[in-house]
Amino acid sequence: MAASPSMTIMIAAVRKAARGVQRDFGELSNLQVSVKGPGDYVTAADKRCEKVLRTELEKARPGYGFLMEESGAVKGSDPDHRFIIDPIDGTTNFMHSLPLFAISVALERKNEIVAAVTYNPISDELFTAEKGAGAFLNNKRLRVANRTDIHEALVGCGIPHRGSEGQAEHRAELALLQAKTIGLRRLGSATLDLAFVAAGRLDAFWERNLHPWDLAAGVLLVREAGGFTSDCDTDANPLQTGNIIAANADLLPLIKKELAAAKKVIGA
């Protein structure tokens, strides 16, 4: 199916922003050894990328609103549409010259994500999805993995930042899922984790306390690849709670069951 005009615009904006990110990533190795470290430089790269995305998308869709990781929410004259942007998802990886990060743009229409682009500018992997039209990696159709046995599942996760809430709960979840699955992976970019579930590279993924810009594109990628997403504990929308499980229909309830068991372990 041909890409919609909105998708064409989003891909063009992401590819344009990616050129700057590639350049900035190339420069990083010089900064790794400096005393000050690459922190400020990376923040500037994030902001530069977001600015290019906003400028390009605004030019093509002047009335649409924005929700951006760096600049927050901007209302548009069109109340039904907004772009949700994470300029570099996987900033810590980027900062350490680890090429596992992505530019992520989603289009929301009347509170529903209808188009998604997640692009790793280093591997040149472009994940796209449109509601009802499937998910693709560089134009190749994606399907989630069909493994149904949790003992064979390779499962991605997040790890809470030092000092943030939910540490004990996370450790209990890790222990239970480590014992049940074939392996756990912490890749450091939620949008790529979700794209990898869509591509069947990971069988499932869970993480808590994420933001809408970490999740918006990936949720549609997973669904359009035949997978499912859920809040970790309830039936609420993960885009609202920030807590997500993504997997096929068989594995998702099995992961959810382990997360519930972890709560019991810590008495929560």
Binding-site ranges for ligand IPD (CB under 6 A): 69, 86, 89-91, 158, 188-190, 207, 210, 214
Least gap, CB of 118 to ligand IPD (angstroms): 11
Least gap, CB of 161 to ligand IPD (angstroms): 7
Nearer to ligand IPD by C-beta: 144 or 157?
157
Least gap, CB of 146 to ligand IPD (angstroms): 25
Nearer to ligand IPD by C-beta: 88 or 126?
88
* SS3 of residue 91 by DSSP: helix
β strands within the chain, DSSP E: 65-68, 72-74, 81-89, 102-109, 112-120, 125-130, 134-137, 140-141, 154-157, 183-185, 204-207, 228-230, 244-247
Nearer to ligand IPD by C-beta: 118 or 230?
118
Least gap, CB of 148 to ligand IPD (angstroms): 26
Nearer to ligand IPD by C-beta: 200 or 242?
242
Compute the 3-state secondary structure of the chain and give helix, strand, coil in percent, each to the nearest 5: 40, 25, 35
Least gap, CB of 144 to ligand IPD (angstroms): 19
Q: Distances from the Cα of 136 to the Cαs of 2, 17, 40, 127, 198, in angstroms?
A: 12, 20, 34, 6, 9
Nearer to ligand IPD by C-beta: 126 or 190?
190
CA distance 231 to 241: 7
Beta strands 140-141 and 81-89: pairing type? unpaired
